[in-house]
Structure 1
Amino acid sequence: MNLSVEHINKSFENTRVLDDVTLDIQKGEILSLTGESGCGKSTLLRIISGLEMPDSGRIILNDEEITNWSPEKRKFGFVFQNLSLFPHLTVRDNIFYAIRKKDQSNSKLTKLTDMTGLKGLATRYPHELSGGQQQRVALARALAINPQLLILDEPFSSLDELLKAKIREEIFDLLRTLEITTILVSHQASDAFLIANKLIVMRQGKIQQVGRPADVYQNPISPYVSDFFGASVILTGKNVNDNSIHTSFGTLKIANDRVDDLQLFVRPENIKITTLNDYNLSGRILKKEFKGPHDVLRIGSENSNEYISLETERCMHEVGETIYLKVPEELVQIFK
């Protein structure tokens, strides 16, 4: 199964929700679609699934245009954010809701309930289930149609943190085992890092970056993408010559041909505390916080209001002291 989304646009009233969105998903891929709330993720999923029509653009499935196909004809499994279980139906009837009577065999039910952890619960109603069990019912219902594509729209948002971690790992292990082509929508980076082999970051209806999760994390193309995936250090700098950039914390030897003001990005875990003999940046500790197994330092510059927030193991330095830092220059990225 190969799915292509080509130049999709969608507006509601006068608000552009999707702006020329193009993406591809290949058979067996698990794609994570992420971005802040309101960026267009769920609208894109609804268009892919046939629940919403685009203003323009095409959806291509295996070289055939399906833009105007009904959801039933597409045969995509969909797990909604609110699960959408029918309260008056048993687990069995919820799972088989979209299945023809002649295909509702006990063997198929057993297979679905076993693989989703619902063994022995087929006669219960949704209100008799835990939140995690309801989640499994919604997944089993999506899998019951033998979908070409499985679509998960913020599937863990209603679960508490402990239950979410458990259910998420179980579901993702199942998806890997079944090798089902999947699109997952989530605003949680941890979801994408755990399972996805392709990551798409959206902002204000546009795709910002596409790539492997590790590549997007380490090599974001913008401050927005870098901040979205956790702590980041962004410093301003000026080109001193072709091989070095000056910041308020020190000079980094980085080849660069631009002479204007620059933004330098590095993940804080790549910054190490070092000695006077082996450093390229330095600053003064403005604040030190105890965080259980770690200390968090706020390190200020002598020449600007910029600061570096750094999580470390037990730090022997105290507030007011100058601290020396080593930043691997090959891991520093320059934003345009």
Structure 2
Amino acid sequence: MRAEHISKEFEGNRVLRDVSLQVQKGEILSLTGESGCGKSTLLRIISGLEIPDKGAVYFDDKEITSWKPEKRKFGFVFQNLSLFPHLTVKDNIFYALKRSDKEAAKLAELLEMTGLAGLDTRYPHELSGGQQQRVALARALAINPRLLILDEPFSSLDELLKAKIREEIFDLLRSLEITTILVSHQASDAFLIADKLVVMKHGEIQQTGTPSEVYQHPVSPYVSEFFGASVILNAKSIDDTKAETPFGTLKIQNGNKSKLQLFIRPENIEISTQSDFNLTGVIRKKEFKGPHDVLKIGTSSSEDLISLETERVTQNVGDTVYLKVPEEKIQIFK
């Protein structure tokens, strides 16, 4: 499936701006970004629930932009699950199927596949949140979908249940090799299951890549901070190989003499009490976080702070520490 140059506005508000993406057969693509970035609107256009103002949607090289949702044969699991409270598990699963397709063998297969065996006569209110999630998935899989669309499917679950159900569902999808688009604003969902990430902001795509590529090499401060803890230092390059920061001089690659922002993942920063490292800071705050400490490190000449999660340390607020960052781990935002 691919969407090309999609634009959409509502009452003069441009929600999508020239958005293009592609998901390969058997691939799991995670469409992510903050609430209001346009990802759900894009999903509705892909599913046929909205028509774009500009652009087109293709499946197997056929344009399907104007096709009704039922003609596309896509499976859906929405945020609110949309289960019918007056129907049993069996009837919810088979609701969209033709009578000729409602076979006992098919039901048994779906129930076993989704961990619902023995629950086919129960009603939604008799099920746990995780079981209701599985019913919605089984219903989406009943039509043998060409594409499965999951729109914030775990948002109503508590964190412990969410982690368990999420892993079970995506293990199943991988085993079935179902082409899937997941919409989520949770980076943890994307990292766990996605082959490819599409990061959106204000109706535009910011970056596309594998989870590792997007995490290690973000193209902007927004992407870097969206996918986990990050350190962004204001700097000015001395030459092509060095940059001056409030904490000292760092070796960099391909710098220039303009102002820079240096992005570093905290796990790539080494901390020491010995002065053999070239960056220097003072512990401004020390937070106890169970098995580790979090140190907020600053300087007397700048408001910049470096936040580091460390093993238990003996240093306290006011103590001087030294930091080391490998130059190949530094991303430059100009």
Tell me if the contact between 1:237 and 1:247 (Cα under 8 Å) persists in the aligned partners: yes
Are 2:231 and 1:233 equivalent residues in the alignment? Answer: yes
Corresponding residue for residue 33 of structure 2 = 35
- Residue pair 1:239, 1:256 contacting (<8 A) in 2 also: no
Rounded Cα–Cα distance in structure 1 between residues aligned with 2:283 and 2:64: 59
**Residue 15 of structure 2 corresponds to residue 17 of structure 1:** yes
Q: How many Å separate the matches in 2 of 1:139 and 1:257?
A: 49
1:269 paired residue number: 267
Match runs of 1:215-230 below 5 Å: 215-230=213-228
**Map of 1:204 onto structure 2:** 202
- In the alignment, structure 1 residue 125 sits paired with structure 2 residue 123: yes
**Equivalent pair of 1:288/1:297 in contact (CA under 8 Å):** yes
**Root-mean-square deviation (Å):** 1.0
Distance 2:92 2:62 in 1: 31
Aligned equivalent of 1:146? 144
The whole-number CA distance in structure 1 between the counterparts of 2:289 and 2:28 is 35
Give the aligned partner of residue 100 of structure 2: 102
Letter in 1 for 2:2: S
One-letter amino acid matched to 2:43 = L
Amino acid at match of 2:181: I
- The amino acid that maps onto 2:209 is G
Q: Structure 2 residue aligned with 1:162, among 160, 163, 168?
A: 160
1:254 corresponding residue in structure 2 = 252
1:76 aligns with 2:80: no
1:41 Cα deviation after fit: 0.9
1:13-42 residue CA offsets vs partner (Å, 9 max, x unmatched): 121111100011100100000000010111
Asked if 2 retains the 8 angstrom alpha-carbon contact of 1:244 and 1:256, the reply is no
Residue aligning to 1:320: 318
Q: Is the 8 A contact 1:237 1:248 kept in 2?
A: yes
CA contact (8 A) 2:253 2:328 kept: no
Which residue number in structure 1 is paired with residue 44 of structure 2?
Answer: 46
Where 1:110 maps in the other structure, the secondary structure is helix
Percent of matched pairs sharing the same residue: 73
Code of the residue aligned with 1:144 in structure 2: it is A
What is the identity, as a one-letter code, of the residue corresponding to 1:273? I
Q: What letter corresponds to residue 112 of structure 1 in structure 2?
A: L
One-letter amino acid of the counterpart of residue 63, structure 1: D
Residue 260 of structure 1, CA deviation: 1.2
Question: 2:36 corresponds to which letter in structure 1?
Answer: G
How many Å separate the matches in 2 of 1:19 and 1:278?
50
Q: Residue 299 of structure 1: which of 297, 300, 304 is its match? A: 297
Count of aligned positions: 334
312-321 or 20-29: bigger deviation = 312-321
**TM-score w.r.t. length of structure 2:** 0.98
Partner of 2:55: 57
Secondary structure in structure 1 of the residue aligned to 2:145: coil
CA distance in 2, matches of 1:323, 1:28: 49
1:128-170: CA deviation from partner (whole Å, max 9, x where unpaired): 1111111000000000000010000000000111111111010
| Rounded Cα–Cα distance in structure 2 between residues aligned with 1:213 and 1:278 | 34
The structural deviation recorded for 1:257 is 4.1
Gaps of 5+ in 1: none
Structure 1 residue 302 displacement after superposition: 2.9
Query: Using the alignment, how far apart are the partners of 1:289 and 1:257 within structure 2?
Result: 35
Structure 2 spans left out of the alignment, 5+ residues: none
Letter in 2 for 1:153: D
Q: Which residue of 2 aligns with 1:335?
A: 333
Q: Normalising to structure 1: TM-score of the pair?
A: 0.98
Q: Which residue identity lines up with residue 260 of structure 2 in the other structure?
A: L
